[in-house]
Amino acid sequence: MGARPEASVAIRHAPRRLTEPERRGRSPRGGGARSAFSLSGGHGPLPHAGRATVKHRSMAVLLNCSSRSNRAAAQRARLGELLKESGLAAEVLCTEKGQQLGELARRVARGPCDLVVAGGGDGTVNTVAAAIAGTDKTMGVLPLGTVNHFAKHLGVPLALEGAVRTLVEGRRVRVDVGEVNGRVFVNNSTLGIYPGIVRAREALRKRRGLNKWIALALSTVSGIRRHERVRLRLVLDGQEVELETPFVFVANNDFKLGDMDIGRQRPPCSGELGVCVAHAESRLSTLKLIASAVVGRIHQSNDFSILRTTELRVEAPHRRLHVAADGEVLRMAPPLCYRVRPAALRVIVPLSSELRSGSRRQEDPFRPVAALEG
């Protein structure tokens, strides 16, 4: 049997040059590596690496290298090895800031690469998806984040070896993306208490250096204490509803917020958005609602409504609203116009994935949804 040719793996770090220890895959003295790739072998080739279902002319891997932990450096080093072993011609581009990642993704989307791979968490996936949705590019996902919601939805293995194997052996499908005032989201968008919790969490992490989950717990408690409710008018399917609510959730692919399934219903069909609205009027009722979500019973609550629509308009008596899109918090001027872009994004999924173009996984039978008025 003839030898398999080595892959060509070009690595760039934008905009900072790698130090010599980082190029050798070691952390620089005094901290974790900002970008660390060791392209030496030693783990053996990926099984069946030559049997690609979708053949790619060229591939760019966009990495969020903001984490300087030793674990993140080891992940990036292992990724370099796996890409070399896979037989894929890959250019790896690293950046440490979200704004730079967006600029880099848009530039790559205009270039010759036909496969653009997002390596990071859901924020990184969102940025890359926004750049290539509606183009002839295909997106791959390397789940290097904490929750990896979109990767789980696609069925991409969370282990790095399996995710790289998917790039080699996977198949291409088209999936919907959601939009709010032109801003793309692949998972969900939220209003009310959740964007505030995310902002408080990130402030705690920056100010105190807390673990992400500890910071989330503290910021959630703080959010419940404040119990901020926002007055909104929702316009959908010819109906107008005015209400005060602590939480509105707009789903593109399923009803999960992180690993918590708040809908317990089948995912929205292609061309649909799922809309969840909380009606909790007190701190205690909000706390009960969160507890119901944690144990998977929020869909049974009288303080929670779920419905489906193709478009949603959100009006509010505020100059700006904090809106979370795939976990990234933005300030937007109302009205907020939500819509679906059907089959706008090409993605690579494993052969075993249940996703098909123009369809969604049917996990549960359809259940009637509650009226918005609660």
Single-letter residue type at 111: G
pLDDT at 370: 39
Same domain, 323 and 194: yes
Same domain, 192 and 87: no
* Token duo for residue 351: 């052969």
Owning domain of residue 190: 185-342
Q: Provide the Cα torsion 303, 306, 312, 315; round to 10°.
A: 0
Same domain, 30 and 150: yes
Peptide bond into 15 cis (omega under 30): yes
Same domain, 189 and 72: no
Cα distance between residue 89 and residue 9, in whole Å = 6
pLDDT at 18: 40
- Buried b / exposed e over 3-23, threshold 16 CB at 10 Å, is eeeebebebebbeeebbeebb
pTM of the model: 0.76
Peptide bond into 335 cis (omega under 30): yes
User: Which has the minimum average pLDDT: 38-42, 64-68, 73-77?
Assistant: 38-42
Q: Return all residues near 23 (Cβ < 8 A) that are at least 6 apart.
A: 37
The listed range with the strongest mean pLDDT (36-40, 49-53, 118-122, 238-242) is: 118-122
pLDDT tens track for 95-113: 877 678 999 999 999 999 9
Residue 347 CA to chain centroid, in angstroms?
13
Domain at 119, CATH number: 3.40.50.10330
3-class SS of residue 275: strand
Same domain, 293 and 216: yes
Contact, 221 vs 232, CB < 8 A?
no
pLDDT at 40: 30
Is pLDDT at 9 greater than 90 in this prediction? Answer: no
Same domain, 153 and 14: yes
pLDDT tens track for 279-288: 877 777 777 7
Which of 169, 200, 227 is at the close of a domain? 169
Q: Per DSSP, what are the bridge partners of residue 305? A: 277
| Average pLDDT score over residue span 156-167 | 94
**Quick one: DSSP state of residue 42?**
-
Count of domains forming the chain: 2
pLDDT at 1: 45
| C-alpha separations of 178 from 105, 126, 252, 271 in Å | 19, 11, 6, 9
Same domain, 126 and 195: no
CA dihedral for 65, 67, 70, 72, sign (positive or negative) = negative
Same domain, 15 and 157: yes
| Average pLDDT score over residue span 110-127 | 93
Q: Is residue 108 situated within a structural domain?
A: yes
* Token duo for residue 133: 């949705």
The residue ranges of DSSP E strands in the chain, in sequence order, are: 9-13, 59-64, 90-95, 115-120, 138-143, 171-180, 183-185, 188-192, 230-236, 239-245, 247-251, 256-257, 260-261, 273-278, 304-309, 311-315, 321-325, 328-332, 336-349
Cα distance between residue 177 and residue 70, in whole Å = 34
3-class SS of residue 236: strand
Domain at 266, CATH number: 2.60.200.40
Q: Is residue 179 situated within a structural domain?
A: no
Q: Is residue 295 situated within a structural domain?
A: yes
| C-alpha separations of 338 from 45, 145, 209, 237, 263 in Å | 45, 26, 35, 12, 19
DSSP alpha helix (H) spans, the chain: 20-23, 70-86, 98-109, 122-132, 149-154, 160-169, 193-208, 212-226, 283-294
Contact, 169 vs 48, CB < 8 A?
yes
